[in-house]
Chain A
Amino acid sequence: MKLLFDRVFDGAGEMLAMAEKEIAAATAELGEAAPISMPNTAYSLACHNAYLGKQIRNVSELARGFSEAKEWASGERRLGGAFNAGFATFMAAEAIEACKYARSPDPYGGEYHGHMSDAEVRELGVPLVTGDIPGFVVIIGSAPSDEEAVELIRGYQSRAIFVFLIGGIIGQARRQNLNMGFPVRVVAVGPDIWCAAHIISFVNRAAMIFGAVKPGDREAFDHYTFHRIRAFVNAFRPVPDIVVASGGGAIAMGFPVVTDDAADMWPVPKSLIIQQNTADFIETSLEARDIKIKVSKIDIPVAYSTAFEGEIVRRADMRADMDGSRSDCFELVVSKEAHEIEDHSIELIGPDIDEAEPGARTSIGFVCEVAGKAMQSDFEPVFERKFHNFINCVEGVMHTGQRDTIHIRVSKAAFDAGFRARHFGEVLYAKVKSEYESVVDKCAVKIYTVPEQLKELRAKATEIYNRRDERLGSLTDESVDVFYDCILCQSFSPAHVCIVTPERLGLCGAVSWLDAKATNELDANGPCQRVSKQRVVDENIGIWEDVNERVREASHGSLEQVTLYSIMVDPMTSCGCFECICGIEPFSNGVVIVNREHDGMTPLGMTFSEMASMTGGGVQTPGFMGHGKQFISSAKFMKAEGGPARIVWMPKALKETVGAKLNGTAARLYGIDDFVSMIADETVTEDAEALLEFLGGSGHPVLGMEPLL
């Protein structure tokens, strides 16, 4: 039998030889000075960056990086030598891919996903920490049959495992018409093993973004991926040496490889597992990587998994369409006395989906009644806001919006599988009961579909929404006795801690003060703890000794002090999964805010990714701060520096999202009408000088404010 390490060294040699050829070709064709970069990332070639601590900017640097990478494959017959050869394989693979991107910004033309953007990495931050994505699988090669390929992928999807595909299985999935793409968490990365570099780049960027791991600190990368990234590999036979070498790198990172190829293969516990029964790949792999899937058994005829959360049901595929912007639709949680509720009662009041014409627009309303000794009315909106997520995880069902702006589509496939209106009730019942089990003792769901009745009920619901908004509006940082911290992200970003206040929600946008309060009630020792606010140091800038104490403790001593209302003095840190980042714009003395979805340039000369890379991982960077979208319209947004009046530029789409509230805040704080129109966006300019000109023209208040620096 050929020795395992020899297979790794030979495979690394093959990849290196291929990279050498590609680099030589790129040099001849494009020249040494030709730029090398990957799109939408601030981390250059992330594998090179991670392992060598070097940013590769052009072809000649790539060639120099290659000579270093080659030294990593020295062939030392120890596992350490094999691991290093694995990393050399990844760098060589990245070099091969980089040469493609040097020739074209989109070398795969939509056929394969190829490189993943920083925004895509950051997008996964929240689902990873919440466990909504319990892990990643990289599937390499072709399954024994097309049917088995799809069965495997769907098996992972139904367990919410994120799936990356490389090689033959992509064609197999296409032949079976499997819906693929980043939103459904099945990514066809590329046709060849060197495309694995994109996945390793993705993972290494997660370490830099969330873990603040320093480029070049290989030990720290290994430690981070081993302990925090629940990834693993499934490799179908035949597994050639070049895949074995890549597997060596994966195992070094802590990602076990499961294969059905027993030829010249050496099993290693929890690392390299030979499973000749491919039907058992999933369970074998999950056990190998210690992934425990939370089972939520829901009585519906289609699959239920967070993997379907991003699924889009197109008009052509839809059987039912319920659109709150066109008809009366709503969702509502109300608390009741326990005796008023029959647990698990699901009542459909009105016609079912099958009674309407296919594709016809109908209406729907959900009233979810809950009761429990520890239930508080403040939790109602917390549960209600999760309906979007709960319903979206149904395969073949799409849900957007909230309250009375919901829009729901049911696909033909889901309908054909037997999905009907009452199944919404089953989903809501099961999720509310399981997610909030310590406060919800009983739960019942009423589903309304009669338009006249819905009109009446919607009006009543609106009254409740308004009352809640008043209550929320009255919740200010001053009016409450406690804040909460949130360390949910510490599984990925171990030094970061959020302080959540009524006027400042968590920077991920997912945890409001009420959410944190509910989380604390649900689990007193959980990720959200009460933080008292008795020892005021400076209320204007937002310093409390209680907060500092908590931050010191929760960050394991890596942070001494944070201010809640300043971005210049000890700003709050971020994990990396923030919705927006703001950074100071020195010419105007204002700040530029950019949201994760925007991949264009900003007047700072930096993209979202580049700005985001300035902070994150629990590091304080004065002048840059990650935050949630809702924080923009808060009166506490950089209050110490003068508040939201400092905002000088935002992407248009973000302006639309937060505009109304921001205008309200500006009117209240500064007496300015239509403040948002004074803020520039990408349609106005992406240039700092032009920005200053625009601000002068629009009469932006920032021009009369104190310098920031």
Chain B
Amino acid sequence: MDNSAKANMTPNPTSNLAPNLTTVEQMEADAAKLKELACAACAETWDDRRASQQPQCVFGESGICCRICSMGPCRITKKASRGICGADAHAIAGRHYLRMAAAGSAAHSDHGREIAHVLHMASPDGNYRVRDEQKLLRLAAEWGVETEGRDIYDVAREVSEIGLAEYGKPFGKLRFLSRATKERQELWERTGVSPRAIDREIAASLHMTTMGNTADPEALVRQSLRVGMADGWGGSMMGTEFTDILFGTPTARATESNLGVLEKDMVNIIVHGHDPAFSEMVVLAAETKELADYARSKGAKGINIAGLCCTANEVTMRHGVRMAGNFLQQENALLTGAVEMICVDVQCIFPALAALAGCFHTKFVTTSPIARIPGSIYVEFRPETAMEQAMQLVREAVGNFENRDAAKVFIPASKQAAVVGYPNEQIIRELDGVTNSHVDARGSYAPAIDSIKAGVLRGAVAMVGCNNPKVRPDYSHIEIMKELLGNDVLIVASGCSAQAAAKAGLMSREARFICGAGLRRVCELVGIPPVLHMGACVDISRMMLLVNEIADDWGVDVTQLPIVGCAPEWMSEKAVAIANYVVATGIDTYLGIEPQVKGSERMMELITEGTRKITGAGYVINTDPRELAAAILAGIEAKRAALGI
């Protein structure tokens, strides 16, 4: 009997192949039940606070309130078209915009720097080791580091030192730029978008926008692209590379997503934030027999680690740790009353968690000097003592199990199976599986390119970004994805967008049944889900490499590819940095939330059309997810037509 037939012994499905997806309505029903519990516990959540914030300041929202110096605040109105110093709406909005990009770039890059330091102290018998030697050796070769006959940890130290130098080197451009296509590199150089040292671009951005400096919106936008580049092709890319070296390059693995991953009979510990250095240790600590035994001695069936936000993305890709949810799920997770400890690192952490944890037995632990929050238990994470610290925290969480109030526990049943972990290396491996050794070379994106050229796939979209209460949480992510999948558009996703997809069930292999015939066939032949999980928001750097490598294999420039980015629910300054480097890389970016510059027509024009003259790409903004999806599809088809495919 042939094996493929054997492997598929299930009876034929009938036409009713619709996978069991979780709808936004179901997610909202779960959230509503949790909200009832919150009211019973007198706990406040984001929607209460958002209501209290209404109406939100129109000047702030439009980017035309300047409080950069103490002459202000100044705001632009019909009567007052300039601030006290004479800055107009365009200058004020432009400066804010650049400052957001700079802050976002700082956040990702500082995260990358932290990982570089961890790599620097890695040792064969320490808490942190080199797990992916090949990747380290490749990077060493790229950076001209001698590897022959050297101890791998010596190599790691030298590589991390070079990486750290990228933050403050006095001369030259960032090393990773050479990974882009020749066309991109020349364009960046020509247009002044090539970033110098990472910290320098951030500092320059702050300098440019301080009182009495740049008032030309075009220059501000150009610097936004450049400081974004310092993130995407600098700090973020380094964060991704070094994380892979330290914790292993992710491979495809099965996991589950949504609040249903919390376990009634187990000690639940949530890791939340973005930097996996500490959460990796928490995961390992929870796996020790000592602590598992301790949990059983306390009447629990074991220790259950679940992730939130991008820390979840990091640990799920490498360990299959299950994901409780994305940004706007953080309070819901605590409202289940079943969380013994929430342990956070950096970025996207609500200060509100302190008060909320106080309504339950939950211990709220902050670990980074970057994210100090009143009301939390602060345990400053140090790489040298990380494992002992993690063991101690997990022990405390187990000890806290007995304090759980069963009357307050409600864990929604919703969860979905997902296959996660598709970095570029894994995508190539998967594509190799559909090559034919008699006609094709392996190790390239050619199978994907051929599928796009033939029209089987119309293109690809990188779905990224956060949740934002300005729109229905997750609704835009999920609805846009469904629309794209139905039109044979492959999706790569990261960050909170990836989590939305996983919660909905779009990262299961069964999700192929909601796709158009082309994407479905690709998923069947390659054996992948239609939405590929590429990692955390810092891993959007992977997407930049992906697109450049595809352009290289195809023999066209990045801007010509029917591949675009979309951040339908973005909110963070990091998203502004990302959007800037994505556009700088030549990829059109579709936004479902307006950047806070609409008080300046000039700025609106610059970010949607102006950048096209610089990088060949720009934003398309539409707050209606259906219209945004239609715009994406039209954009993809226009690029196809231009290529004659």
A3 to B454: give the CA distance in the assembly, Å.
Answer: 7
Per-residue A-contact encoding for B430-455, CB less than 8 Å = 1, 0 else: 01001111111000000100110111
For the complex, is A284 an interface residue (Cβ under 8 Å from B)? yes
Give, as a whole number of angstroms, the nearest-CB distance from A261 to chain B.
14
Interface residue from A77, A217, A495 paired with B11 (Cβ < 8 Å): A495
Contact stretch, chosen from A224-232, A333-341, A364-372: A224-232
Query: Of A80, A283, A618, which is in contact with the most chain B CB atoms at under 10 Å from its CB?
Result: A80
Across the interface, do A275 and B438 meet the contact criterion of CB distance under 8 Å? yes
Determine which of B11, B13, B455, B521 lies in contact with A3 in the assembled complex, contact meaning CB atoms within 8 Å: B455
Question: Is B70 on the interface with A (CB-CB < 8 A)?
Answer: no
- The answer to whether A269 touches B4 (Cβ under 8 A) is no
List 17 contacting pairs A-B, 8 Å CB cutoff, sorted by A. A5-B455, A77-B455, A78-B516, A79-B455, A79-B456, A79-B488, A80-B516, A130-B1, A217-B14, A219-B17, A268-B451, A269-B525, A270-B436, A270-B525, A287-B436, A556-B9, A558-B11
**Bound state CA distance, A581 and B599, in angstroms?**
81
Residues of A within 8 A of B517 (CB): 78-80, 83, 252
Q: Which residues of chain A are within 8 angstroms of B406 by Cβ–Cβ distance?
A: none
Q: A227–B434 Cα gap in the complex (Å)?
A: 16
Confirm or deny: B12 has a beta carbon within 8 angstroms of a beta carbon on chain A: yes
**What string of 1s and 0s marks CB contacts (under 8 Å) between B1-34 and chain A?**
1111110111111110100000000000000000
Q: A94-137 interface mask toward B, CB cutoff 8 Å, 1 = contact, 0 = none?
A: 00000000000000000000000000000000000111001000
Closest Cβ neighbor of A222 among chain B residues: B517
Q: What separation, in Å, do the CA atoms of A267 and B440 have in the docked complex?
A: 10
Interface residues of A in 1-35 (CB under 8 A from B): 1, 3-5
Q: In the complex the two chains form, what is the Cα distance from A91 to B521 in whole Å? A: 22
Interface size on B, residues (CB 8 A): 41
Chain B residues contacting A490 (CB-CB under 8 Å) are: 9
Complex CA distance for A381 and B550, rounded to whole angstroms: 61
A498 on interface, CB distance cutoff 8 Å? no
Asked whether any CB of chain B lies closer than 8 Å to the CB of A290, the reply is yes
Contact A288 B436 (CB under 8 A): yes
B41 at interface, CB cutoff 8 A: no
Q: List 6 additional contacts besides A269-B431, A556-B9; criterion CB under 8 Å.
A: A79-B516, A219-B14, A220-B14, A227-B5, A269-B525, A494-B11
Could you say which of A228, A267, A275, A494 has the most chain B C-beta atoms within 10 Å of its C-beta?
Answer: A267
Chain B residues with Cβ below 8 Å from A213 are 12
User: Do A3 and B645 have beta carbons less than 8 Å apart?
Assistant: yes
* Residues 414-469 of B at the A interface (beta carbon under 8 Å): 431, 434-440, 447, 450-451, 453-456, 458
Write the chain B residue with the least CB distance to A214.
Answer: B14
> Can you name the residue of chain B whose Cβ is closest to the Cβ of A496?
B11
Q: Which residues of A contact B487 (CB under 8 A)?
A: 78
Chain B 141-196 interface residues, beta-carbon cutoff 8 Å to A: none
With beta carbons under 8 angstroms apart, the residue of A134, A271, A494 that contacts B521 is A271
B635 shortest CB reach to chain A, Å: 16
Of residues 512 through 563 on chain B, the ones whose CB sits less than 8 Å from some CB of chain A are: 516-518, 521, 524-525
Say yes or no for A642: interface residue by CB 8 A criterion: no
Which residue of chain A is the closest to B524 with respect to CB atoms?
A226
**What string of 1s and 0s marks CB contacts (under 8 Å) between A70-98 and chain B?**
00000001111011000000000000000
Please name the 4 residue pairs, one residue from A and one from B, whose CB atoms are nearest each other, closest first. Answer: A79-B518, A491-B5, A80-B517, A266-B454
Q: In the complex, are the beta carbons of B525 and A275 less than 8 A apart?
A: no
Structural contact, A494 and B9, CB atoms closer than 8 A: yes
A273 contacts chain B at the CB level, 8 A cutoff: yes
Chain A residue numbers with a CB within 8 Å of B521 are 79, 271
On chain A, the residues within 8 Å of B124 by CB distance are none
Q: Which of B5, B11, B434, B453 contacts A556 (CB 8 A)?
A: B11
Residues from chain B with a CB closer than 8 A to the CB of A527 are 1
CA–CA, A131 and B14, complex, Å: 26
User: What residues make up the interface of B, taking CB atoms closer than 8 Å to A?
Assistant: 1-6, 8-15, 17, 431, 434-440, 447, 450-451, 453-456, 458, 487-488, 516-518, 521, 524-525, 644-645
A274 at the interface (CB under 8 A from B): yes
1/0 per residue, CB under 8 A from B, across A207-221: the answer is: 000011110011110
Interface size class of A (residues with CB under 8 A): 35 or more
A656 within 8 A of B: no
In the complex, what residues of A have CB within 8 A of residue B455's CB?
3-5, 77-79, 82, 266
- Alpha-carbon distance A325/B437, docked complex (angstroms): 52
Task: Say yes or no: is A291 at the interface (Cβ < 8 Å to chain B).
Answer: yes
* Contact across chains for B12 and A223 when beta carbons are under 8 A apart: yes
Residue of A nearest to B455 (CB): A5
Q: Contact at B439–A291, with CB atoms within 8 Å? A: no
A175 in the interface, Cβ–Cβ < 8 Å? no
Decide yes or no whether A488 CB sits under 8 A from chain B.
yes
Q: How far is the CB of B154 from chain A (nearest CB, A)?
A: 43
CB contacts (< 8 Å) of B447 on chain A: these are 269
Contact: A219 with B436, CB < 8 Å?
A: no
* A292 at the B interface (CB under 8 A): yes
Least CB distance from B481 to A in Å reads: 17
A212 to B249, CA, bound (A): 45
The interface residues of chain B lying within 8 Å CB-to-CB of A290 are: 4
- Given the contacts A78-B488, A219-B15, A291-B2, A269 and B435 also touching, CB distance less than 8 Å: yes
Q: Which residues of A contact B450 (CB under 8 A)?
A: 266-269
Which residues of the other chain, A, contact B434 by a CB distance below 8 angstroms? Answer: 269-270
CB of A387 closer than 8 Å to a CB of B: no
A79, A83, A230, A274: the one contacting B2 at CB < 8 Å is A230
Chain B residues whose C-beta falls within 8 Å of the C-beta of A544 in the assembled complex: none
B453 CB contacts on chain A under 8 angstroms: 266
Q: Which residue of A lies closest to B488 (CB)?
A: A78
Q: State whether the Cβ of A272 lies closer than 8 Å to any Cβ in chain B.
A: yes
Q: Chain B residues with Cβ under 8 A from A77's Cβ?
A: 455
Please name all residues of chain A whose beta carbon is closer than 8 Å to the beta carbon of B4 when the two chains form the complex: 227, 230, 290
A280 at the interface (CB under 8 A from B): yes
A492 located at the interface, meaning its Cβ lies under 8 Å from any Cβ of chain B in the complex: yes
